[in-house]
Chain A
């Protein structure tokens, strides 16, 4: 809402700078987005009278003018425009002047002759022919104003106004009007407001009922419909003061009738429409729901398909307007219009909103109706329109008003309990201040009860009243307090603590945490070769685009996008992880299963065993000692020979591996990429963070290294399990320290070396005891796998 301060001063006198006014209004609840002092940028532009015109000797199109700028001397200015005559009054930008777009005009020479300024067009003053209909757009602005040479152009053209732009919240449609903001300003400054009742002085002898009938068929969607008629219309431009006010409020002047409807809408906040009576068939206005298949061409020249849910205004035959949205072309006023019907109606907000959204047409009117307008406002608004008709000499107002008003809204009644309000706010606002505030805001106080005005449908309970009081009193006058309440333990729960631990571990391992979008393109599944059955996703019905149209069931493809971004930027080594939700669809109409998932991706330094090490560390941190690692040959996202599944209690807890070459190709990776997908929800249930102290060993361990030769395909994990089995309970630890292959070992053979630590809790083991264990192991390995000691 753009407010002209000149217009506001019709209702309330405010003595404050624009900045002070803006701050105060913001503090009391009408948020100011900014203000502009109009004409501020124009400097040194005055009215000039053309004394003589002659051709420039060295140019075909330039004219040399002598101008009277009101200083007594004549000033030479050269212009290229040809619509000027001697005696014309024109805007002159003098030497060292500024135009609204910041242009600095200085004396200079044009084709060798001095020119001491510039004659201005409408556009150069930031205006259009809508602002001054008599002026032509291309050429110098020939003034028809009452002015004399030397007058400041800002005064002459009424550019001296301050406009303030408000951001009005949807609960206050009453503030989308000059009167509404005047009321707020008056309350904010505790000064009186003058609001006069519009009055039509002369009316014709005939009556509106002689010409028109109004029938409201669907009064659930139209609580009130008020109409007045005007005949002998003289369509012409509005006077300058009205055009200026519209322009300063951001509305383009059109002609007197259209301007009046816009003016009233701005002033009263009540949308108005004018029908050409000649085109209302049968002299009827019927407010009804549209018929199936009904169509209307709106004022913007677009044919609109209507549905039975939409409310229309129709005559005896056809729809002439979409109620609360836009009028129809078939009843639009034109230069030959003789008789008009002013509509000032109240429509049900949600219905207007649905209609405007379904036909994709939002208008000034629909934006207002959506928020719920005051039905009491229709009558004063239509009266104001007719008052302006008289004032502008635009026609003859027909006697009588048609006013179809259904059931009036029940007025809210709220107990006034000042102590309760203060208790709720934590304030000590005097009762008198509250009562004064109610008076300023037109809230009636009677017998301990409060009755909000009809335009404040948002005031229903004590809390609403408390807000009214405290916003005028000042939010910042509320003293901060620390609430006294039952002590509660603020802490992260076990799950949250554990997730934080995982985060810390992964960062400690050198991985960067990233954040990727929860929604992805369905094509992303293709890029990681995800099996069809795992692609079922929660689908967004109105996505921004395909790229963000489904909720991910895996974070892997989004993370690979991020990883490839880094690779493209020639970063040599990069490790990333994300811990965030994935969304598994459930049955139709229920919510998704949202699971925390942790995904790691990296390229550069490290290999398969690096990512395996990450998971081993994670499991160790999680207190999970028993888990199984097995080769995973059939996961299509990964290299079939370099992929493994970690499982706990036979349930997979993580998949790790090197990406399948085709997946790498899909992301244009030129180096191996490794990934791990961790089922974090399962990890949370499997974790064991209870730690128990075990006494430190009293006796030393003895160590034995075994270099074994076995089949190349035999997995280290299998051998290790067998070692543990045959070693018995003296084995404290076993680990691989070397693997190599060599033709000397024999075809398809490899060497694998283990380091064993043996320890007894009761004594120092002898070499002999150690050798016995080794012997048992070697026998067992030979029997089971034909493994031999390397010679």
Chain B
């Protein structure tokens, strides 16, 4: 009997060793093996049945041996089964392999117009600095666009902004600065606002001119506001907008509604100030006009210039867009060719 058990064991081990493929028959082979060696009608069971014929002394020894053989075969069967299922999974995954280089499927989202995208970027920076966003009329009274900004009728500064008139009293605003007046008339300091929007000038359409374009105006009025604060604010803005190493440069200028006034350059964001094609070798790009709000403008809006001071600034969005993306023709921005728009 002992010999029978040993022979059975050896046979089973030999058979189980061959169960290591992943072909379609393997599951059946495994099942057959299980029935053959471990099932109710297996050889082992029939050998066990012979136990009765053994002596009292031999019976537990043989019983022990039979159990050993059984558990070893069970273990080998378990291992073979696990191995086979691994092989089967690997074969399945192999069969399911796809070409990952085929293109993706998706509803392609649209995009923001570059003017809006840059405008949002500017807005976000100033929101972070505690500014509100306000809107103002584009069809505007002459008073708000000019007179209230120290540009009375027949003032030579009117020549620098060729104006579309609706009638003698109403025009299309030439600058977002008109919103300064609306804000100061309606709100007491502290004031911290920006106002983006469309402005209009009677310039024929060409690569660098458009009769309609966009500006962002900024206004801060409070106690003790200094020109240093103006510089600090624009420096923060520029570093956020154009990169943390951006420097700014103030040049004296004249705007009737600010005093002192400045034109503001930022160090070229393409070359960092070394001079390149974008900045025409200057190292600087003019981007802003700014200054301290003129006391007459404050007074006109009912704000006492002895108590309060403020600064204002304005920038053209198209100019920033064109510099930022190296666009050489402004007309592209209004042609709305999606081959252009999809590039941003």
Residues of A within 8 A of B (CB): 26-29, 31, 169-172, 349-351, 353-354, 370-371, 423-427, 461-464, 466-467, 470-471, 475-476, 478-493, 496, 500, 503, 506-519, 538-544, 548, 551, 562, 565-566, 569, 571, 574-577, 580-581, 583, 588-592, 594
Contact = CB atoms under 8 A, between A and B. Distances in A.
A424 B292 contact: yes
Contacts, number: 247
Interface string B136-170: 01111100000000000111110110001111011
Contacts of B130: 487-490
A369 to B, nearest CB: 10
A538 B337 CA distance: 28
A575 B198 CA distance: 24
5 contacts: A170-B254, A424-B227, A540-B165, A565-B337, A576-B336
A423 B156 contact: no
B140 A591 contact: yes
Contacts of A28: 252
Nearest to A167: B253
A565 B292 CA distance: 45
B176 interface: no
Given A583-B139, A591-B141, A575 B110 contact: yes
Q: Across chains A and B, which 8 residue pairs bring their CB atoms closest together, nearest first?
A: A426-B228, A426-B226, A350-B154, A467-B260, A169-B254, A29-B252, A475-B250, A480-B232
A512 B166 contact: no
B138 A594 contact: yes
B11 interface: no
B338 A512 contact: yes
A569 B337 contact: yes
A487 B190 CA distance: 9
A438 to B, nearest CB: 16
Contact of B227 (A426, A539, A543, A583): A426
A483 B227 CA distance: 10
Given A515-B116, A540-B166, A543-B164, A481 B232 contact: yes
Interface size class of B (residues with CB under 8 A): 35 or more
Given A424-B292, A426-B231, 11 more contacts: A169-B253, A349-B154, A426-B229, A464-B259, A478-B231, A480-B231, A483-B226, A486-B222, A507-B109, A509-B107, A591-B137
B336 A562 contact: yes
B183 interface: no
A530 B287 CA distance: 41
B192 A490 contact: yes
A480 B156 contact: no
Contact of B251 (A426, A475, A510): A475
Contacts of B128: 490
Contact of B170 (A486, A542, A589): A589
A491 B169 CA distance: 34
B62 interface: no
B127 A508 contact: no
B13 interface: no
Interface in B284-298: 292, 294-295
Contacts of B140: 591
B175 interface: no
A87 B146 CA distance: 67
B200 to A, nearest CB: 8
A169 B159 CA distance: 12
A34 to B, nearest CB: 11
A571 B337 CA distance: 9
B172 interface: yes
Contacts of A169: 253-254
Interface centre among B231, B260, B263, B334 (most CB of A within 10 A): B260
A616 to B, nearest CB: 16
A170 B226 contact: no
Contacts of B70: none
Contacts of B166: 538-541
Given A170-B254, A482-B229, A515 B165 contact: no
Given A423-B224, A517-B334, A490 B254 contact: no
Contacts of A496: 133
A31 B251 contact: yes
